[in-house]
């Protein structure tokens, strides 16, 4: 049935077309014979309203310029990133020669401790520095130190001398001796065997009555020690207790802790550190310079500048140095050759007369060559490092440390790079590619514009449509609402809300959505006014009466019959509004209150170079962005203007 109908219609159309063509042909034939009449209908070419608008629009040069700008902006922002190799938050690196720390050198400030008897030395382990200080002060101890030692650290200090001190702490006796330069040994000389009360009675301990008597006599005689049966006993007072003392038996000194500020440099960095070997070497250093460790004989060579530990084959295993020389990360990865030449330079600097020479020094050394492109170490075909001679500068810090520096090829973020082939507009202060950020920023800026304007328009059309159509009380209420919104200033409200977002640390994306919503809600009043005004005049016209007469629903009458008639004005005001919103968004972002870094928008890109220095030096970042904002807004205005003229030629003045 339907097919038949369609066929009929098609047939009719065919016939009409034929007739039309015949007419045209007869006219054309007539043309040859006589000129067309002045009032001939064929002279007037009738265009549909849409085509009329397009034709008028295309005649406007400024509008075409605007349209071309807009199209190219859209292509750049929305299609550009697909073909452009870089992302908006991709950081770029480059290599540069930087005078960078290579090694540092200093005397050790902390003791390296080799603990042999952990159980009996754990109480005094941390005070080794204090005891060394006392020894270094030739055994002289000031009252304060003594007080601190006895009250806080529970140490009873007995004998003092340049070569060693004797003290007791807890339940043990200790001797501490200086073995040589920067090498100290803590001996344990006895342990607790019992407890006494100061009135002379033995509280605990396994003693004969005779022995106990002798202890009491000694205590009453205010003595510190007593020899009973050929064995020396000492009394150690207990901190915090006035009438009890520890009874300790004196024994042959046993090694407790070996403490040193000397530093071992491994000769072969691939061999792991061996604490046992170091300990044995230290013990032999100031003695006979020979020792056996794990079945192998070692000798210490002290003839040269540096003391060397040699194994039985005469190979150097360790160097013993006064300095700790480490690479800039603090790791022990430097070769012994470097260490010795560095130590030499530092020693020379320490002994120098001249102020300048005390502060800086230099030497040349072969260091691994770095590739100027990648900053990696260069290898030859066998996989060995290629070395190159470099002048290495040593300078003294105020902390007493010596730092070795030389110009190294280093990987750095490529910030503020000038425009080049790899970065068309250079890079910004974060090492991001500016052109890529311009494209992504443009997306956000344009998108914000569109979303806000569409939101405004939807709200405005609904409110304005209702107000204009119904009139009366509804109209009054809505128009007062429009007045109220018109009177609320957008910019300050946005600033307040943005500073609240700042304080609450709202995420970037959420912020963007909120911003668009608020701008839309604050901006609908203008559109509502426009729509209402138009509808007020339109609803009195005949076609509305006709619509009403056909019994259409109210909503259909408003949105299908009235609103489309407002469309021309609406499109014009939307186009113009787009420019305004882009301007507002970029201003907010420029002030740091809109879309936040690292998401790019045109506004915050200019903000990122807002310091005077950056403004002066990096014009290739902010000028293109600024020009783009202007271009976008101008283009929207041009197009809006052109559309207005095209829609309503009578308005063209």
Residues of the shown chain interacting with another protein in the complex, contacts defined by CB under 8 A: 62, 480, 483-484, 486-489, 491-493, 495-496, 499-500, 503-504, 579, 583, 586-587, 590-591, 593, 603, 606, 610, 612, 615-616, 619, 622-623, 626, 629-630, 633-634, 637-638, 641, 653
Q: How far is the CB of 629 from another protein (least distance, A)?
A: 5
Judge contact between 324 and 264, C-beta under 8 A: no
- Burial class of residue 300, CB neighbours in 10 A (0-12, 13-18, 19+): buried
* Element of type H or E holding 452: helix 434-470
Q: How far is the CB of 71 from another protein (least distance, A)?
A: 18
Comparing CB distances to another protein, the nearer of 115 and 591 is: 591
Residue 98 or 481: the one with the smaller Cβ distance to another protein is 481
DSSP state of 229: T
What values do phi and psi take at 91, rounded to 5?
A: -90, 140
Residue whose CB is less far from another protein, 541 or 610:
610
Q: How far apart are CA 307 and CA 287, in angstroms?
A: 14
Nearer to another protein, 499 or 541 (CB): 499
Nearer to another protein, 62 or 116 (CB): 62
Q: For another protein, give the closer residue by CB, 170 or 594.
A: 594
Q: How far apart are CA 168 and CA 150, in angstroms?
A: 10
We find the least distance from the C-beta atom of residue 417 to another protein, in angstroms, to be 21
Q: What is the DSSP string of 365-392?
A: EEEE-B-TTT-PBPB-TTSPBPEEEEEE
What b-and-e string marks burial along 31-45, b requiring 16 or more CB atoms within 10 Å of the CB? Answer: eeeeeeeeeeeeeee
The answer to whether the CB of 460 falls within 8 A of the CB of 534 is no
Report the residue number, 406 or 622, with the smaller CB distance to another protein.
622
Beta strand ranges found along 272-337 (DSSP E): 290-293, 296-301, 307-310, 316-321, 323-327
**Which is nearer to another protein, 341 or 506 (by Cβ)?**
506
Q: Given the complex with another protein, which of 147 and 480 has the nearer CB atom?
A: 480
Q: Least distance (Å) from another protein to the CB of residue 130? A: 40
CA-based nearest residue to 629, from 491, 451, 428, 449:
449
Residue 230 backbone dihedrals phi, psi, to 5 degrees: 75, 5
Q: Of 352 and 623, which has the nearer Cβ to another protein? A: 623
CA–CA distance, 264 with 318 (Å, rounded to integer) = 6
Q: Residues for the chain: how many in total?
A: 653
**CB closer to another protein out of 126 and 486:** 486
The smaller minimum CB distance to another protein, of residues 553 and 616, is found at 616
For residues 468 and 460, what is the distance between their CA atoms, to the nearest angstrom?
11
Give the three-state DSSP class for 69: helix
Q: How far is the CB of 114 from another protein (least distance, A)?
A: 51
| Smallest separation, CB 553 to another protein (Å) | 33
Residue closer to another protein (CB basis): 89 or 637: 637
Q: Considering beta carbons, is residue 63 or 168 the nearer one to another protein?
A: 63
Longest dimension (CA), the chain: 162
> Minimum distance between the CB of residue 497 and another protein, rounded to whole angstroms?
8
Q: How far is the CB of 72 from another protein (least distance, A)?
A: 17
**What gap in Å lies between CA 325 and CA 317, rounded to an integer?**
17
Shortest Å, Cβ 491 to another protein: 6
Nearest to 626 by CA among 637, 615, 636: 615
Kindly list the distances between the CA atom of residue 203 and the CA atoms of 215, 231, 245, 301, in Å, as whole numbers in the listed order: 12, 20, 9, 55
H helical segments located in 221-326 = 275-285
Question: Least distance (Å) from another protein to the CB of residue 76?
Answer: 18
Please list the residues that pair with 233 across neighbouring strands. 226, 249
Residue-wise DSSP of 529-570: HHHHHHHHHHTTSHHHHHHHHTT--HHHIIIIIIHHHHHHHH
Residue (46 or 487) nearer to another protein, CB: 487
In the complex, minimum distance from the CB of residue 420 to another protein, in angstroms, rounded to a whole number? 23
* CA gap 615, 107 in Å, rounded: 48
CB contact set of 63 (below 8 Å; sequence gap of 6+) = 57, 638, 639, 641, 642, 643, 645, 646
Question: Nearest CA to 101 among 370, 386, 395?
Answer: 395
Instruction: Write the CB contacts of 276 (distance below 8 Å, at least 6 apart in sequence).
Output: 293, 294
**CB within 8 Å of 604: residues ≥ 6 apart:** 441, 589, 590, 592, 594, 595, 596, 597
């Amino acid at each position: 049935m339907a097919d038949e109908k369609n066929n009929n219609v098609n047939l009719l159309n065919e016939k009409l077309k034929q007739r039309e063509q015949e007419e045209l042909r007869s006219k054309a034939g007539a043309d040859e014979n006589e000129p067309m009449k002045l009032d001939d209908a064929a002279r007037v070419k009738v265009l549909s309203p849409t085509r009329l608008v397009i034709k008028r629009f295309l005649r406007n040069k400024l509008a075409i310029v605007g349209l071309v700008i807009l199209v190219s902006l859209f292509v750049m922002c929305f299609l550009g990133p697909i073909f452009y190799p870089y992302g908006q938050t991709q950081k770029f690196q480059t290599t540069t020669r930087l005078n960078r720390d290579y090694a540092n050198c200093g005397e050790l400030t902390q003791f390296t401790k080799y603990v042999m008897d952990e159980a009996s030395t754990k109480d005094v382990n941390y005070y080794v520095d204090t005891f060394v200080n006392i020894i270094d002060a030739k055994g002289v101890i000031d009252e304060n130190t003594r007080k601190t030692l006895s009250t806080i650290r529970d140490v009873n200090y007995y004998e003092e001398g340049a070569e060693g001190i004797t003290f007791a702490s807890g339940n043990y006796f200790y001797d501490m001796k200086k073995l040589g330069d920067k090498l100290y040994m803590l001996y344990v000389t006895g342990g607790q065997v019992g407890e006494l009360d100061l009135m002379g009675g033995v509280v605990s301990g396994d003693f004969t009555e005779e022995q106990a008597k002798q202890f009491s006599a000694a205590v009453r005689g205010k003595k510190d020690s007593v020899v009973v049966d050929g064995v020396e006993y000492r009394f150690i007072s207990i901190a915090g207790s006035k009438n009890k003392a520890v009874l300790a038996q004196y024994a042959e000194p046993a090694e407790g802790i070996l403490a040193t500020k000397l530093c071992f440099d491994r000769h072969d960095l691939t061999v792991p550190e061996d604490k046992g070997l170091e300990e044995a070497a230290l013990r032999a250093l100031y003695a006979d310079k020979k020792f056996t460790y794990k079945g192998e004989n070692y000798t210490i060579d002290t003839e040269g500048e540096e003391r060397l530990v040699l194994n039985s084959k005469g190979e150097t295993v360790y160097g013993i140095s006064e300095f700790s020389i480490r690479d800039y990360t603090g790791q022990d990865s430097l070769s012994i050759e470097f260490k010795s030449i560095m130590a030499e330079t530092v020693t020379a600097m320490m002994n120098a007369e001249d102020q300048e020479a005390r502060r800086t020094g230099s030497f040349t050394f072969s260091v691994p060559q770095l590739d100027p492109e990648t900053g990696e170490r260069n290898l030859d075909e066998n996989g060995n490092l290629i070395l190159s001679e470099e002048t290495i500068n040593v300078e003294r810090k105020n902390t007493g440390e010596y730092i070795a520096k030389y110009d190294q090829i280093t990987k750095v973020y490529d910030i503020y790079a000038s425009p080049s082939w790899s970065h068309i507009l250079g890079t910004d202060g974060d090492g991001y590619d500016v052109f890529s950020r311009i494209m992504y920023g443009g997306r956000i800026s344009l998108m914000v514009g569109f979303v806000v304007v569409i939101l405004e328009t939807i709200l405005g059309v609904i409110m304005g449509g209702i107000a204009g159509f119904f009139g009366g009380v509804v109209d009054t209420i809505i128009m007062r609402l429009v007045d109220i919104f018109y009177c609320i200033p957008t910019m300050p409200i946005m600033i307040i809300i943005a500073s609240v977002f700042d304080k609450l640390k709202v995420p970037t994306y959420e912020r963007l959505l909120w911003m668009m919503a608020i701008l839309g809600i604050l901006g609908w009043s203008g559109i509502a006014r426009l729509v209402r005004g138009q509808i007020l005049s339109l609803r009195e016209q005949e076609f509305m009466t006709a619509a009403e007469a056909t019994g259409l629903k109210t909503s259909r009458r408003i949105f299908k019959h009235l609103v489309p008639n407002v469309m021309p004005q609406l499109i014009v005001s939307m186009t113009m509004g787009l420019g305004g919103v882009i301007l507002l968004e970029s201003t907010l972002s420029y002030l740091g209150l809109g879309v936040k870094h690292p998401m790019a928008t045109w506004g915050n890109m200019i903000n990122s170079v807002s310091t005077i220095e950056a403004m002066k030096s990096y014009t290739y970042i902010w000028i293109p962005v600024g020009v783009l904002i202007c271009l976008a807004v101008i283009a929207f205005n041009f197009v809006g203007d052109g559309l207005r003229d095209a829609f309503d030629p009578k308005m063209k003045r």
